[in-house]
Each structure stands twice: as C-alpha cells, then as structure tokens.
Amino acid sequence: MRKSMVLVISLGLLLLGSIAYVRGQGSAEQGIGKAIAVVSPTQGSKVKGIVTFTKVDNGIKVVADLEGLTPGLHGFHVHQYGDCTALNGDSAGGHFNPEGMQHGAPAAKDRHVGDLGNLAAVADGKAHLEWTDPLLSLEGRDSIIGRSVIVHGNADDLTSQPAGNSGPRIGCGVIGIAGK
C-alpha cells in the first residue's frame, strides 16, 4: 500500500512538473509581446492615462493616451527605474540610456533609448501619440519592462543635455508585462 501511494504521488508530481515545464517553454518561445504603463499624476498634477508598448516587425509600437495636461508639448520618456514613489517623480531616475548616448530626438541615430520626444496636448488637455520605435525592447539587457514612463510639464527641446530641458515630472507609470 505504501509503495503504491508513493508511486501515485511521484507520478502526480512528475505530471505537474511536466505541465509547468511545457507552459514555461511556450512562454519563452513566444516572448513578451506587449507591455503597459498606467500613468498617474505626480503631486499637484492631474495627468493620467495609459501607454502601451507592442512588439511589431520593425520595433515597438508605442501608443499613449493621456489627459489632464496643459495644451502644448510635453516631454515623454522612458526612465531608468520603475519607481514612481517620490511625490515629484524623481525616484524614476534619469532617462533610460543603456548605451551611454547623448539626449536626442526619437528619430535621431544617436539618442537615449528612452527618448520618445513630445506628446502634443490639445485644448481639452488630452494627448494621443502613436510611434514605432526601433530602439525599444521588451526583452533582454535593454528591456523597458520594470522601468517607468515619465510625462514632463514642458516641451523636450530634443537637444539640451542631459534630458531636453523638459521641466518637472507631472506623470509617472511603471512599465509591466501586459496580457494579450
């Protein structure tokens, strides 16, 4: 009786282990296809919204829908840390820059990986952006998963070092893996 019970338990554990292994293999082969950041306001701001990052053939498609902005341009970047705990957003660190490049425009050859340029808010305070970025990645050493998205109070001038003179951080969201 004892041997048969041990055998049944062993087979059950083997089956569970096999299922977990197969599930893990499927995930690894498919990779991460989509990420999301829910942007919340920093202290004194009303900015909120959603930013998605979706793997496409030529890079990562970024779609941002935000509200609570003042009309005009607002710097928009991926920052180094996925930490939005500081009331002013400073806990997110600087722009994500794994290659040690100079700050620049999103279409520039040499730029921070996190340089996404500007969001354009219209009169009602809403902004929509769609951009396919060739440098962003959802996997590997330069992955943006676990980092943050920051929305700034002013326009990014796309040239000033180290961060484009974009002003205060008015919105922050941690980038996480999204469901399909």
Encoded amino acid at 76, one letter: F
Of the candidates 77, 90, 111, 156, the residue annotated as catalytic is 77
128 given a catalytic annotation: no
Query: Which of these, 161, 165, 166, 167, lies nearest to 101 by C-alpha position?
Result: 161
79 given a catalytic annotation: yes
On the question of pLDDT at 26 being above 50, the answer is: no
How many other CB atoms sit within 10 Å of the CB of residue 172? 28
Query: Residue 91, SS3?
Result: helix
pLDDT digits (tens, 9 = 90+) for 59-76: 999 999 999 999 999 999
Query: Residue 175, SS3?
Result: strand
For 135-164, b/e burial (b = at least 16 CB within 10 A) is bbbbeeeebbbebbbbbbbbbbebeeeebb
Average pLDDT in the chain:
82
Q: What is the residue extent of each domain of the chain?
A: 1-30, 34-177
CATH of the domain spanning 34-177: 2.60.40.200
2 given a catalytic annotation: no
103 given a catalytic annotation: yes
Give me the mean pLDDT over the 118-141 stretch.
93
**DSSP H/E element including 10:** helix 2-30
User: Alpha helices of 31-179 — where are they, by DSSP H?
Assistant: none
Of the candidates 90, 133, 152, 156, the residue annotated as catalytic is 152
